[in-house]
Structure 1
Amino acid sequence: MAEPSPPPSIRGFVAPSFEPVAEAYARAFAEAGDGGSAFAAVRGGETVVDLWGGTAAPGRPWAEDTLQVIFSGTKGLVATCMLMLVDRGALDLGRPVAHYWSAFAAKGKDGVLVRDVVSHRAGLPGITLAPLAAADLADDEGMEARLAAEPLSPDPGAYGCYHALTIGWLCGGLLRRIDGRSIGRFFAEEVAAPLGLDIWIGLPPALEPRVGVLELGPDWDDGLTPEQAASSTYRSIWGNPPLFPREGTPWNTRAYHGAEIPGGGAVASARSMARLYACLAEGGGLDGVRLMRPETLAQGRRELSRFTDPFIDEPMRFATVYALQTEQHRFGPPADAFGHNGAGGSIHAAWPGQRLGVSYVMNQLRSDPRDQRSRPVLEALHGVIADMPG
């Protein structure tokens, strides 16, 4: 029997019974006027959806092997690394960060616990001691040192707000002092290589030609409200340096792709992100590779914080770095979904109840909540799975 094919405007494949997902993807793609994107779903060890379309860069179609910056989707990779340390008995969420990283105790931070760091409650959402250049973000060890020297924020709102990039360097600093490796190297050797993943926190030079070029969509909102403009905490998170400049974005440069920016700089394919989350949906093991024990992952999925970010007015729930489902249902219909979304529209999640990993990546950044590109595709996928026996 011939394998079902997606609509002509879209390339890739879907497994039998998953045709509605291809139709939803093609329809959403046409309605959104997307630049380029890919969507994948993996159930167990089987890829059941692998679709792509549009352009990766001006004059270059999105290809089967196109890679894309996934911004905060990187945090799901960080979460996995941190839980692997927990699983090995090397990291205790209840201990002070300074127990592992002595320099971190500076400026009164000796009481900050690891669980505070991994749940966006450390009180270190941005850098306040000095203005940063874009190039500074590409120096992971330098950013770890800056955070070790940074005082705790005097702003109460900083203890229940999204630590957009600093959570990556804080976790990377912990991992480096416990394991000796950088977080990018740890992920490459302990996660990506065993599972056969096209995911990098620090992209090798030879893979640079495969990376799609990011662009800001027509609805991208880069203006500040008066309240945001007046907040020094907000400026330290999003404006030191400005993360999404309209002209000459550093996220399209080789310097950023090759750097280890664990809060937002990973480069990946949708099919590999879906495979990683399929492993997590199965309790941390897939195709003979076990990243962690199921009980460790169950602990790592437990809610540690819940807040409405005071600076971007968004409800958030976090476990050990992983984001949990909220009333926004970013990760599709399942209530038990967990993972992480990325700036501009990418979505990466495990659906444990369905034993499924999903990922949507794209190169045209859109603003929430207006961005609806992935939602109908996730809903169609959920509908297909719900109709399947067993």
Structure 2
Amino acid sequence: MDVHGFTAPCFETVAEVFARNFKEYEETGAAFAAYRDGEPVVDLWGGAADPGTGRPWRADTLQLVFSGAKGLTAACVLLLVERGLLDLDAPAACYWPEFAAAGKGGITVAEIMSHQARLPGVQLPFTEEEFFDPRHMAGLLAEQAPAEDPRAGFMYHALTHGWLVGELIRRVDGRGVGAFFADEFAGPLGLDVWLGLPDEQHHRVATTLAGPGVLTSPADDDPLRALTRNPLITAEAPALWNSAAFRRAEVPAVGAHVTARSMARFYACLARGGELDGVRVLAEATVRRGRRELRRGVEPLWGSPMAYGAGFELGTGTVLHGPAPDAFGHAGAWGSRHGAWPGARVGFSYAMNRTRAAWPDRRPLDLLTALHDALPH
């Protein structure tokens, strides 16, 4: 398997680890990129974007990164906070009056951002067409009562987080989250990052593949687990992941299509306090506020550590965003990693099309360890 791209001097080991992933961990197609202090130091890609047709992974291949999208929506909310249009400590119902229904009037914006809204799933059934309609899904959540199960007090809101955040953005700004990110971040920074992919870009998308253990059976008898039913992990899910309808839809929590190069550039900007190449998209104080810890604990259904700022995952050891103690960002389901190490002024992104249920997933972690070891110490 040929590795394409480049590494800056002293970062050659990262390319060796990237190539080794294909041999040791059965990587199919992938890309890894990193910036240090605003300059690219790693930009690698290789393998097959679509093994069924033999289409290779190219420099401009786009990849679905599932919950990697949550870091993008976090930045959108923080910009609105900076502009005085949202207050993290205010009840969400101040901006979205319908959200106060069923006893939710006291739930704050910060609690939504840090997975404490007690709305980890949608109670009412919904169709695939409704799943692709963020306003409809937000409306269902506005009517819903918060879960009474105490475990829901700090529980990952895999899908609902995006509909809640997206509706807050729409209520105070008028734009959907995809248009907001495009206008305020992707455009100014020159990012190939999409929340809602135009049809003319679909030919660049890698086919996402389900590895062993990724797809699960229907929810068991645990009511909380049943509440979090997720069409993205059923036996039919790969057809959904790779459908034109899903690619073009705005599914804020899980629907981003990106190049690793652009995601690394986005986080490189945040690692520098919100400025890159003379373009400032967030104030330094805003970035600090976004990664300030709001809650830390154990995810009740997974049994694994979880820590959140205002939408960003924070460090919980080395199994998420690498060895840097100040790491923040957001992982995507089954392998991808996207984040920043502010102390080292590093932004990085790993994107791949072979999902894996392994935890910890050594593919991104070995890359991040090699990247960290290559930095001046």
Q: TM-score range by the shorter chain?
A: over 0.9
> Distance in 2 between the 1:292 and 1:218 partners?
40
Deviates more, 1:189-198 or 1:35-44: 35-44
Query: Which residue matches 2:187?
Result: 193
Is this contact kept in 1: 2:49–2:207, CA < 8 A?
Answer: yes
Matched, 1:49 2:49: no
* Structure 2 alignment gaps of length 5 or more: none
Any residues of structure 2 matched to 1:32-43 within 5 Å, and which? 32-43=25-36
- 1:65 equivalent in alignment to 2:60: yes
Partner of 2:276: 286
Q: Which amino acid counterpart does residue 308 of structure 1 have in structure 2?
A: V
> 1:98: how far off?
0.6
CA distance in 2 between partners of 1:42 and 1:315 (Å): 28
- Residue identity in the other structure for 1:182: G
Contact 2:67 2:331 in 1 (8 A): yes
Q: Does 1:242 align with 2:231?
A: yes
Conservation of the 8 A alpha-carbon contact between 2:61 and 2:204: yes
For 1:292 and 1:195, locate their aligned partners in 2 and report how far apart those are by CA, in whole Å: 12
Partner amino acid, structure 2, of 1:95 = A
| Structure 1 residue matching 2:339: 3-state secondary structure | strand
Structure 1 contact 29–373 (Cα < 8 Å) conserved: no
Aligned with residue 319 of structure 1, among 302, 309, 312: 309
The residue identity in structure 2 corresponding to 1:43 is: R
TM (norm. structure 1) is 0.93
Shift of 1:338: 0.1
Q: Deviations over 1:74-105 (max 9, x none)?
A: 00001100110111111101111010011111
Pairwise CA distance, 1:370? 4.9
Displacement of 1:372 after TM fit? Answer: 1.0
Task: Output the CA distance in 2 between the equivalents of 1:10 and 1:76.
Answer: 28
Matched positions, count: 374
**Structure 1 segment 123-272 matched on structure 2, within 5 A:** 123-128=118-123, 130-220=124-214, 222-223=216-217, 229-237=220-228, 239=229, 241-247=230-236, 248-272=238-262
> Which residue number corresponds to residue 3 of structure 1?
none
Tell me, yes or no, if structure 1 residue 30 matches structure 2 residue 23.
yes
Measured after TM superposition, the shift of residue 121 of structure 1 is 0.3
What is the TM-score normalised by the length of structure 2?
Answer: 0.96
| 2:20 counterpart of 1:9 | no
Q: Which structure 2 residues correspond to residues 331-350 of structure 1 after superposition, within 5 A?
A: 331-350=321-340
Query: What is the SS of the residue equivalent to 2:101?
Result: helix
Residue pair 1:134, 1:250 contacting (<8 A) in 2 also: no
Distance in 2 (CA, whole Å) between partners of 1:11 and 1:235 is: 44
RMSD over aligned Cα, in angstroms? Answer: 1.4
Offset at residue 127 of structure 1 (A): 0.5
Contact in 1 for aligned 2:212/2:357 (Cα 8 Å): no
How far apart, in 1, do the equivalents of 2:70 and 2:200 lie?
24
Amino acid of the structure 1 residue aligned with 2:37? G
Q: What is the aligned partner in structure 2 of residue 18 from structure 1?
A: 11
| CA deviation profile, 1:32-65 (whole Å, cap 9, x unmatched) | 1111110000123321111011111121111111
Aligned with 2:365 (options 367, 375, 378): 375
1:105 aligned residue (92, 100, 109): 100
Aligned mates of 1:221, 1:242 — CA distance in 2: 10
1:84 is matched with which residue? 79
Give the superposition deviation at 1:223: 4.8
Asked if structure 1 preserves the Cα contact closer than 8 Å seen for 2:214 and 2:233, the reply is: no
Per-residue deviation at 1:270? 0.2
CA distance in 2, matches of 1:329, 1:370: 6
- Give the structure 1 partner of residue 349 of structure 2: 359
Q: Identity of counterpart residues, as a percentage? A: 49
Distance (Å, rounded) in 1 between the aligned partners of 2:129 and 2:375:
45
Task: Answer with 39-48 or 333-342: which moved more.
Answer: 39-48
**Could you list the per-position Cα deviations for residues 182-209 of structure 1 after superposition, in whole angstroms to 9, with x for gaps in the alignment?**
1110000000000000000001111000
Instruction: Report deviation, 1:153.
Output: 1.0
* 1:237-285, Cα deviation, whole Å (9 max, x unpaired): 1x2x432223353111111111111111110000000000000000011
The answer to whether the Cα contact below 8 Å between 1:11 and 1:51 also exists between their aligned partners in 2 is yes
Counterpart secondary structure, 1:55: strand
- In structure 2, the residue corresponding to 1:53 is in which secondary structure? strand
Preserved contact between residue 12 and residue 52 of structure 1 (Cα < 8 Å): yes
- The answer to whether the Cα contact below 8 Å between 2:331 and 2:337 also exists between their aligned partners in 1 is yes
- Larger CA deviation: 16-25 vs 345-354: 16-25
Measured against aligned partners, the alpha-carbon deviations of 1:124-158 in whole angstroms (never above 9, x if no partner) come to 11011x22233322111111111111111121111
Say whether the 8 Å CA contact 1:216–1:246 is kept in structure 2.
no
Q: Secondary structure at the match of 1:249?
A: helix
